[in-house]
Chains A and B, each alone.
Chain A
Amino acid sequence: MHENILRNQPAEQDVELMSSEDQEPGLLKRNDKICFRNFNLWYGEKQALKNINLGIKTNILTAIMGPSGCGKSSLLRSINRINDLIQNCRVSGELLIDEENIYEGKVDVYDLRRRIGMVFQKPNPFPKSIYENVAYGPRIHGTTEKTELDTIVEKSLRGAALWDEVKDRLNDNAYSLSGGQQQRLCIARALSIEPEILLMDEPCSALDPIATSKIEVLMRQLKESYTVVLVTHNLQQAARVSDMTAFMYVGELIEFGNTMDIFNDPQKELTEKYITGKFG
């Protein structure tokens, strides 16, 4: 039953394997790119994340899955502190990126966000031209020379596998693109600031299957250059594209490990129930 899900797994040699003696669900290692330590998050009185301990490694694709309301989006949005925009949002514990706690007072949150790119659930290009959408990020961070911007725009659009489709109409309004193209534009926009980390919050949930598969191919390319964290409610997608998978339930991290291990041989009963579709 599990084998069906794993038919499209990437080659093993690209994945750093976990030691099997480790019992901790999160496994925090020194070379983790992103590290949650005893991390909690509240929206007002409601606690959305409970004591998360999780280490995300560099240059692989980590999927976060779980049923609705399990906190996976909150987890993702804590990484670039875009949760700060929500009133009454409180955190405790530590979130380390490159071993620095990003929730410490002296951290410049705008600079932090420049190092992280984010793609949202529903494509949200700016009401500007395709060119301007991609150029916006570099512009606000200081790049103003036209030739430099042109290079960055082309590079980002190529990185998002969109260049060939739009290179002749860069000045068209972004909303003239199809849904799948808009999402790839948003990916290009995220790439334009040359981030180290790419956060993707259910990027395919609003797209048709063909657009989805194009983006999944893209994701597998992206993880070679970026640390990608993907939130998805689509089990098969998690199995198809990710190297490591975390399973969350009602704000807690239940299990975390190599994707193949999680899907072939889950350690926790809850994980197994989720994978086999006993609840959604």
Chain B
Amino acid sequence: MKNRAGEKKRAQKIRESLIEKALFASAALSVLTTLGILGIFLFEAFGFFKEVSIIEFLTGTLWTPLFEPKHFGILPLVAGTLMVTIISIAVAVPIGLLTAIFLSEYASDRLRRLVKPVLEVLAGIPTVVYGYFALTYVTPILQQMFPQMIVFNALSAGLVMGIMIIPMVSSLSEDAMVAVPNSLREGAYALGSQKHEVALKIVLPSALSGIIASIILAISRAVGETMIVSIAAGSTPKLTLNPLESIQTMTGYITQISLGEAPFGSIEYNTIFAVGLTLFVMVVIINTLGNWLTKKYWRSY
């Protein structure tokens, strides 16, 4: 009888230990994923950088890997990405912040319950639908305003991307503002402050770290966005400051080549990994910067 109990206990111990190892493996998978991304990218990009010098890649101003003569300067793609990102942030941050202020400081409960689901829906719409909207609705309207604009341009894509990002900025900023304790507001009101002064001078600065985090996240999302730019921004990589022109972003380029099914191992195939690596590094830098800024401005109550 004692032996059986002992055996049962040993079996249970072994089972518990196996289960713990299996659970650990699942958690470790995330680390492996990051290593996998880096590994694959570095491996494939290695093939690319054997043929193209890294200096030319990072500083060249012409990107023509598919035509002769081939140039592999990534700056046009980066410029395209940045232009669309800047336009989208210029749309999303003011609207998102104002929405957040409105919802957190002004809106009644009923209004909040009406508006928040709308924003959630906006956030959940697939980007391919936004791309369609940009091409078929926004671009024609813009063309009437700017007759010299061609169908594929950075402005359309940027504006629509901005709309897509509004919920991200507004909901995270609102969370940060709502978390500011009421005692701070009451102190300001007691001094005779008006609502907008409390909102802008007390709540906003206190919620700063959350707001910054939301903006950084939005930037990161804009940089990595693919469908809207592929559909509406064009596929002509060029270094330009004119948003009415057709450009190409890093993500747009990767999409273009992937659809073309370039042969495995060719230089064209390797370019998507070189560009992808650049994109990944940019996003990681942005996220890390965001984390650092968030910690720097964080106030605990």
A-chain residues with CB within 8 Å of residue B8 when the two chains form the complex: 142
**Cα of A212 to Cα of B68 in the assembled complex, Å:** 90
- Residues 178-221 of B, flagged 1 when their CB comes within 8 A of A and 0 if not, give 00000000000000000000000000000000000000000000
* Contact residues in B for A108 (Cβ distance below 8 Å): 9, 13
Listed in ascending order, the chain B residues whose CB lies under 8 Å from chain A are: 8-9, 13
For the complex, would chain A's binding face be called helix, strand, loop or mixed by DSSP majority? loop
- Bound Cα distance from A111 to B2, whole angstroms: 14
**B6 CB, min distance to chain A CBs, angstroms:** 10
Docked pose: A111 CA to B8 CA in angstroms: 12
A111 to B13, CA, bound (A): 11
Collect the chain A residues with CB atoms within 8 Å of residue B13's CB: 108
A-B contacts, 4 listed (Cβ < 8 Å): A108-B9, A108-B13, A111-B9, A142-B8
- By beta carbon, the residue of chain A nearest B16 is A110
A142: chain B residues within 8 A (beta carbon)? 8
Closest to B8 in A: A142
Interface string of A87-108 (1 = CB under 8 A from B): 0000000000000000000001
Q: How far is the CA of A142 from the CA of B8 in the complex (A)?
A: 10
The smallest beta-carbon distance between B15 and chain A, in angstroms, is 12
With both chains docked as a complex, state the minimum distance between the C-beta of A68 and any C-beta of chain B, in angstroms: 26
Write out the residue numbers on chain B whose beta carbons fall within 8 Å of the beta carbon of A111: 9
0/1 string, A64-99, CB within 8 A of B gives 1: 000000000000000000000000000000000000
By beta carbon, the residue of chain B nearest A142 is: B8
Shortest distance between the CB of B9 and any CB in chain A (Å):
6
Per-position contact with B for A131-153: 1 when CB-CB < 8 Å, else 0? Answer: 00000000000100000000000
Render A107-119 as a binary contact track against B, CB cut-off 8 A, 1 for contact. Answer: 0100100000000
Kindly list chain A residues whose C-beta atoms are within 8 Å of the C-beta of B9.
108, 111
Shortest B52–chain A CB gap in Å is: 51
